[in-house]
Amino acid sequence: MPDQRQDTANATYVVGVDVGTGSARAGLFALDGTMLATAKRDITLYREAGDIAEQSSREIWDAVCASVRETVISAGVDPAAVVGIGFDATCSLVVLGQGGASLPVGASGNADRDIIVWMDHRAVEQAERINALGHPVLAYVGGKISPEMETPKLLWLKENRPDVFNAAWQFFDLADFLTWRATGDLARSTCTVTCKWTYLAHEKRWDADYFQKIGLGELAEEGFSRIGQTIVEPGSALAGGLTAEAAAALGLKPGTAVAAGMIDAHAGGIGTVGYGGKPEENMAYVFGTSSCTMSSTAEPVFVPGVWGPYYSAMVPGMWLNEGGQSAAGAAIDQLIAFHPYASRAAEAAAAQNVPLPVFLAELAGAKLASPSEAVRLVKGLHVVPEFLGNRAPFADPHARAIIAGLGMDRDEDSLVALYVAGLYGIGYGLKEIIEAQAQSGAEIARIVISGGAGQHDVVRQWLADAAGKPVVAPKAAEPVLLGAALLGALAAGSFPDARAAMHALSAADRVYIPAGGAIAEAHAARYAAFQSLQAAARDVRGC
C-alpha cells in the first residue's frame, strides 16, 4: 500500500503476528497505529471424526516467518527500523519432545501433527470428570472447565497416548510456542496460562492440589517445568530478543524485542477496548470462526458459565470475564451450506471474489431500506446456531443447533432469510452473555467488534439490534494484528504501559445504534423464542 508508507529514515516500527485457525498473518505498524503492510499464509487444519482437530507447529512457524518477511519487504522498511514483534495465536496445545521435536497427538501417528487445536473436543469426558470434582480452582473458569481448555486435553493425552504424554518435554499454548521459537525463552504469558491452564495469576501460583486431584499430579511433582515455571505479563520483553536463527527466518535483526504473547481474541481485545479511555465500559467481541467476548472489571466478578475472572489476562491490573461460542462464523457457514440454493449462491459469490456470507449480507442489504428492517425477512424462522455446543453462559458442550420454521423454499430469498436468522441467533447468544454478566455485576455500555465475520456494515447493525447494545467498529482495519503489534511496542519500550498504548491506538470508525420501536419489540419476541428453543432442546436431548 504505497500511499500509506512513511518516511522511514528516522521512524521505528513494530510487527504484529496473528495465528488464527486457518492462517498466519503479519502486519507492520507505525507507532501511531497506521498499518503499512500485511501478508498471510494459509495453514492446514486436519479434521477427523467430528471432534478431532489437529495442526502442525512446524507448518505454522514457517507460515509466520514467510508472512513477516513479505510484510517487511512490501512495506519497504529497513529491518533495522523494526524495534519489536508481538505474537498472538489460538489457544491450541503444542506437544514437543526433547530438543523441541514434534510428537504425534492423535491416532494418525504423524509426528508433524503435534497440535491439538482449540476447537478440538476429544476431551469432553475428561472435562466432565474434572467438573464433577468441584475443585475451588474451577471458580475461576466460570464454574466449569471446557474441553477446549488445556488440562482436560492433557488428561486425554495421558489416558489415550501415554507414550506421547510421558515423552513430552514441553506442553505449550500456541502463542507461548511462538515466543519460544523466536527467543528460546520458556516463559509463559499470564494471558495463556491463566485463561486456559488454570494458573491463578492473582496469587501468582499453580494449584498443585488441583493437578493431583484430576490425575495430572506428575506435572505438579515436576515443579510445573513442562507447563511453565516463569510466568510474565503480556508485552514483557523476553530473553535477549530474537535469536540469530529466528531473526534470519523472519527477515529481522537479531536482538529485536520480542513480547510475551496473547491468545488471539485477547489481542483483539487490547486492540479495541481502549476506546473512550474506559476499558471497563467496553465488551470486546471478536467475531471470527468462533466468537469471544471479553469484559474488564476493577474487582473480580464471578459469572456462572462465563470463564474467569482472570487477573491481568488482558488489561494489566484488571479482571477479565470471557465468553463467546465455539462456532460463530463457522456456525453460519455450516447453516447456509444446508440450503439447496447455497451452491448457486457460492458460484455467484466466487464470480464477485467475495466470501459467500458477505455476498448474502449484500443481497439482504439491497432488499431493505435500512439494515434493521431485515427482521421482517425472517418472521417465523428461528435459528439457535449451537452446532458445537454452548460455551457461554451455559458451559454446555453437548448443546446442538436448532432450525425452526423452515419451509420448502429453495430460492435465493429463502437462503438470505436463513442467513439473516442465523446472524440474529448469534446476536441473541451474545445478548445472553451480556445479561448473565450484568446480573452478576459486570455491566457493559457497548460492544467493540473485531474479526473477519463482523466486518460488514449490515452484520454489525444486525448484531446491535439483536443484542440491544451499540456496536462500535474500531478505526483499525486489523485490530487483532494491532493488538499483537502493541505487545511488540511494549516490549521495545515505545509506550510506558499497556493502558497508555491502548488509549493512544484505539479509535472508533463508526457506531451502530440498536433500532427502537417496533423493530426492538420484534427482537424482544424473537429473543424469547430463541431461549424457549434452547430450553426445549435441553428437554428432548437424548430422546
Contact criterion met (CB below 8 Å) for 19 and 88: yes
Closest CA to 505 of 533, 532, 483: 483
Closest CA to 154 of 204, 84, 224: 224
Q: Which residues contact 194 (CB under 8 A, 6 or more apart)?
A: 200, 201, 310, 311, 312, 313
| 3-state SS, one letter per residue, for 405-467 | CCCCCCCHHHHHHHHHHHHHHHHHHHHHHHHHHHHHCCCCCEEEEECHHHCCHHHHHHHHHHH
Instruction: Using DSSP bridges, classify how beta strands 170-173 and 115-116 pair: parallel, antiparallel or unpaired.
Output: unpaired
Contact criterion met (CB below 8 Å) for 86 and 261: yes
Distance of CA 352 to the CA centre of its chain: 28
DSSP H/E element including 13: strand 13-19
Contact criterion met (CB below 8 Å) for 271 and 480: yes
Per-residue pLDDT of the chain in tens (543 residues, 90 and over written 9): 333 334 444 679 999 999 999 999 999 999 988 999 999 999 999 998 778 999 999 999 999 999 999 999 999 999 999 999 999 999 999 999 999 999 999 999 999 999 999 999 999 999 999 999 999 999 999 899 999 999 999 999 999 999 999 999 999 999 999 999 999 999 999 999 999 999 999 999 999 999 999 999 999 999 999 999 999 999 999 999 999 999 999 999 999 999 999 999 899 888 888 777 678 899 999 898 899 999 999 999 999 999 999 999 998 889 999 999 989 999 999 999 999 999 999 999 999 999 999 999 999 999 899 999 999 999 999 999 999 999 999 989 999 999 999 999 999 999 999 999 999 999 999 999 999 999 999 999 999 998 888 889 999 999 999 999 999 998 888 889 999 999 999 999 999 988 888 888 777 889 999 999 999 999 999 999 999 999 999 999 988
Contact criterion met (CB below 8 Å) for 135 and 402: no
Distance of CA 202 to the CA centre of its chain: 23
Helix and strand numbers (H, E) in the chain are: 18, 22
CATH architecture for the domain at 329-433+521-540: Up-down Bundle (1.20)
C-alpha grid cell for residue 457? 456494515
Domain ranges of the chain: 2-262, 329-433+521-540
Closest CA to 490 of 236, 179, 180, 182: 236
Contact criterion met (CB below 8 Å) for 451 and 268: yes
pLDDT value of residue 377: 95
Angle 435-438-443 (CA atoms, 0-180°, nearest 5)? 120
The Cα–Cα gap between 258 and 15 comes to 10
Tell me which CATH code domain 2-262 carries. 3.30.420.40
Closest CA to 444 of 276, 277, 279: 279
pLDDT value of residue 197: 98
Contact criterion met (CB below 8 Å) for 27 and 482: yes
pLDDT value of residue 1: 33
Q: Which residues contact 36 (CB under 8 A, 6 or more apart)?
A: 1, 4, 5, 6, 13, 28, 29, 30, 75, 77
One-letter amino acid for residue 159 of the chain: E
The Cα–Cα gap between 521 and 31 comes to 45
Q: Which residues contact 202 (CB under 8 A, 6 or more apart)?
A: 300, 311, 312
The reported pTM is 0.85
Closest CA to 189 of 86, 115, 96: 86
Contact criterion met (CB below 8 Å) for 383 and 424: yes
* Secondary structure class of 8 (helix, strand, coil): coil
Instruction: Using DSSP bridges, classify how beta strands 13-19 and 23-30 pair: parallel, antiparallel or unpaired.
Output: antiparallel
pLDDT value of residue 277: 67
Which residues pair with residue 39 across a beta bridge? Answer: 26
User: Which residue, chain included where needed, has cell 425472517?
Assistant: 378
Confirm whether 2-262 and 329-433+521-540 share one CATH topology: no
User: Which residue, chain included where needed, has cell 466449569?
Assistant: 144
User: Which residue, chain included where needed, has cell 475428561?
Assistant: 126
φ, ψ dihedrals at 44, nearest 5°: -80, 135
Residue 197: C-alpha distances to residues 192, 224, 536 (Å): 7, 11, 33
φ, ψ dihedrals at 542, nearest 5°: 90, -5
The Cα–Cα gap between 244 and 263 comes to 26
Question: HSE-up of 125 (CA within 13 Å, CB side)?
Answer: 7
The Cα–Cα gap between 429 and 467 comes to 8
